[in-house]
Structure 1
Amino acid sequence: MVAFISTIVILVLLIAPVFPYAKRRPEGTPLTWGEAMVGATYVFFVFFWAYAVVPHQWLTYADAELGWRSDLVWIGPKGTLLTWFPIDIPAVVARDVIATLIYVVGLGFNIWIWAWWQNRSQRETKPVPVSTYGRPLVKKA
């Protein structure tokens, strides 16, 4: 349990700096080769953590501590729930469905954060009042 929760906390801590960095870096600023390599390495590590380490820790937790193995049948004639159901459904199915949901949530968040990054300059800003000549109006103090 501790390892699984720790991997989720580390994943959140890895993603958190992206938002302040996006506010600080203007859109369209050219990247240097070094910045591109550091960014690519960082994103690869976050992907590795989200798609490899977190699901692995979930499967380890479900197998070891929860005991959701193939010999534990929940639904079906040999199970503890819904014994009238004709097909045996072991606890491994729930374990694997949750692992799949971890991937689906990760992919959905991945798509959302890339779209958010690409549209960061199109956020709501207060329009500056302009004169008839197109110059911004400045209030005199």
Structure 2
Amino acid sequence: MVSVLLVVGVFVLAQRRPVGTELSWGEAMFAATLAFFGLFWVYGVVPHQWLTLAEAELEWRPDRYLAGPSGTGALTDVPMNISYETLSHLIAVTIYGVYLGLHVALWSVWQGRGDKVERRRKALEEKTTAYGRPLARKV
């Protein structure tokens, strides 16, 4: 929930803050603290809590097998043992990958927040559409 609030906050701020506006010292320190907290949360707390949940509550230990000759389920034909701990670590890697992709998407949103307005302004100056085609003349 915290990571969702952080992402929504970045999107809202990206729409409200004009491009090129200077930061005061206080705004810069607040933004740096918020960015650090966000990175700490999504790359530290969330994967750690998942691994703790998997090990303690779900009992996904290295001695419980999901698949392989030592397994007790339907996947005993797999030629290698795959433990539940391996599955929990793969899920943790997936969590890291999702957050990394979201991290890059947020960079893109923040860096491109003024592009649409700039294209419209430039198109009106050059008498073209935002896509570069000439404006249709009125008959």
The alignment status of 1:67 with 2:59, answered yes or no, reads yes
Partner of 2:68: 76
Instruction: Tell me the TM-score normalized by structure 2.
Output: 0.79
Q: Structure 1 unaligned segments of length 5 or more: list them.
A: 1-8, 132-141
What is the match of residue 3 of structure 1? Answer: none
1:49-83 Cα offsets, whole Å, 9 max, x none, are 00111101111111122111111111111102322
TM-score (norm 1): 0.78
**CA-based RMSD:** 2.2
Query: Deviation at 1:115?
Result: 1.0
How many Å apart are 1:130 and its aligned residue?
6.1
Q: Superposed, which structure 2 residues align to 1:87-102 within 5 Å?
A: 87-102=80-95
CA-CA distance at 1:84 after TM superposition: 2.4
Q: Are the counterparts in 1 of residues 11 and 109 from structure 2 also a CA contact under 8 Å?
A: no
* Separation in structure 2 between the aligned mates of residue 32 and residue 123 of structure 1, nearest angstrom: 26
Q: For residue 85 of structure 1, what is the aligned residue in structure 2?
A: 78
Identity %: 46
Instruction: List gaps (5 residues or longer) in structure 2.
Output: 126-139
SS at match of 1:70: coil
Size of the alignment, in residue pairs?
124
1:33-52 maps to which residues of 2 (within 5 A)? Answer: 33-52=25-44
Pair 116,127 (structure 1): closer, same or farther in 2 beyond 3 Å: closer
